[in-house]
Amino acid sequence: MGILRFFLIFIIVSYLIIYLIGIIGKWAVKRWLNKMQDPNNKQTTNKKEGEVTVNFGRKTQRKHFNKDDGEYVDYEEVK
């Protein structure tokens, strides 16, 4: 009787865990998709007719050098 009760509880708990993982997985995927779509929705803004805007994306960052990296020498072409 104890083994039958154990297997019955094990099966019920297993199905419950699988069901909850399915619900949580669907919720996580929907949330991820909504986050991925947000930047696209921000591009649609109300602009006046004839207004032009240029978006260069990320600004390039200057490379920073330490004093220990060596001396910087300008390149000069020699023929």
Segments of the chain scoring below 70 in pLDDT: 38-46, 57-65, 67, 72
Q: Which of 43, 45, 25, 22 is nearest to 33 (CA)?
A: 25
Tell me the whole-structure pTM to 2 decimals.
0.42
pLDDT for the residue 62 = 64
pLDDT for the residue 12 = 96
pLDDT for the residue 65 = 65
pLDDT for the residue 38 = 67
Distance CA 41, CA 29 (A): 18
Q: Where are the domains of the chain?
A: 1-37
